[in-house]
Amino acid sequence: MSSNPPSPAGAGQEIIYPSQPPKDPILICVLNLLVLGGVGYIIMGQKMKGIIAIVAWLILLVPPSCGTLSGVVAVVAAIDGYLQAQQLQQGKPIGQWTWFQNHK
């Protein structure tokens, strides 16, 4: 029985490694905030997370919320995208579904 330590981005998920040059956390934050709530994720490499954020943003754009809930999705995605991009900028890998400071 082998006891391998879990991968830094979490076991069982695709790992995204830092790129050269690293993605700017501010750019990712602004893209997630202003462009459909998830484009920054896609640029950073968290493609499925970005697609789901965009779909959620579009669904929540229609009444009865009148876009308020889309704004919430965009703000959460902006903060999370910034934190994920910071990890990549520091040379640390992240997982496809890593959220906020949940880096293992």
| pLDDT tens figures, 72-99 | 889 999 999 999 999 999 888 888 888 8
In a domain, 51, yes or no: yes
More confident residue, 100 or 80: 80
- Average pLDDT taken over every residue of the chain: 82
Q: For residue 38, is pLDDT > 80? A: yes
Looking at the domain assignment, is residue 41 inside a domain?
yes
Looking at residues 51-78, what average pLDDT do you find? 86
Range of the domain at 81: 19-95
The average pLDDT across 40-53 equals: 92
Domains of the chain: total: 1
Q: How far is CA 31 from CA 37, 57, 77, 104, in A?
A: 7, 13, 9, 26
